[in-house]
Amino acid sequence: MNNPYKVLGISRSADQNIARNRYIELAKQYHPDTSRFNAKNSEAKMKEVNNAYSLIKLSISRGVLAFRPKGRFTKEEIRELIQRFNEGQSLYKIGRDMKRKQRSIKKHLILAGLLEEEIYVYDVQEGTLNIFYLLVKYTILFLTVTALLILNQWIIFWIILMSLFTYFIIDL
């Protein structure tokens, strides 16, 4: 999908009137009945201009940009992100509207000083329980795999091994 703002040749901060005036100019220029280009090219360009204008009109009416580039955040996006967070919008809503991941939104809010970085505290008493649990778990896995190899039951070995690995991966 082409950037609708580039198709119309306007900035992202343009209002409804600027977008409408630019659309009218381009419609006069590329309309198949009045265009100096051949009918096929002018019809394709007119469809592109119509789609771009409808996207921009929809985004302006909703107050949300319809097209956002992927990759790094622009300064405008970071400003909008901070403003929306300060207004009380949830990270989910901001991410959905801006078409960005919550993880990257959190990163920018932490850099702006609006969120605290999540710090994981390792509890010694609970940590030893977790280490013991993992030790028992992997010992059972090792004994099961060894027993199946000794018994030379390859089909059962692979079925049980795959189910155990699935269980262990999901549990971690």
User: Could you list the pLDDT tens digit for every one of the 172 residues in the chain?
Assistant: 577 888 888 887 777 888 889 988 988 888 878 777 777 888 888 888 888 888 888 777 666 555 555 678 888 888 888 888 888 888 888 888 888 888 888 888 888 888 887 665 555 555 455 666 777 777 777 777 777 777 766 667 667 767 766 666 655 4
Model pTM score: 0.40
Spell out the residues 6+ positions from residue 16 whose beta carbon is closer than 8 angstroms to its own: 57, 60
Q: Determine the Cα–Cα distance for residues 131 and 124; give it in Å rounded to an integer.
A: 10
Q: Determine the Cα–Cα distance for residues 108 and 74; give it in Å rounded to an integer.
A: 11
